[in-house]
Amino acid sequence: MRMIDALNLENPWTPAHQAVEASDYEGLTRLLHAGADPNEVCSGMTLLVHAIDVEGDGARQSGAPLHSAMTAILLAYGADPSMELSNGFSPRGMAEGYAHDMAIGLLDRYGDQS
């Protein structure tokens, strides 16, 4: 097995998904500004679904208030708020699952612009 294959097995995320997972707002913004696809799919999730999951799960685990910074960044860079994958994951479904009202509001606002 080549070293690159071993690395990919250990960390299957793309750089943009790694930034989302780490809540690295600056890194994600840099990647999107450099041309990363805001609708990229990795491991069955779009960046937007992943961001909403990270925001919701992080708040649930830590007890901290929900925030929507990552969701807002992705939507500002053109993430599709209505993109649903064949596995059933959608931004709205993920946000509703966490009762993430701020994300739902952003999805509604950006969805109206389409």
Tens digit of pLDDT per residue, the chain (114 long)?
A: 334 444 445 668 899 999 999 999 999 999 999 999 999 999 889 999 999 999 999 999 999 999 999 999 999 999 999 998 888 889 999 999 999 999 999 999 998 654
Residues 98 and 59: beta-carbon distance below 8 Å: yes
In the chain, domain spans: 3-112
**Which neighbouring-strand residues pair with 41?**
46
Model pTM score: 0.87
As its CATH architecture, domain 3-112 has: Alpha Horseshoe (1.25)
Residues 91 and 88: their CA atoms lie apart, in Å, by 10
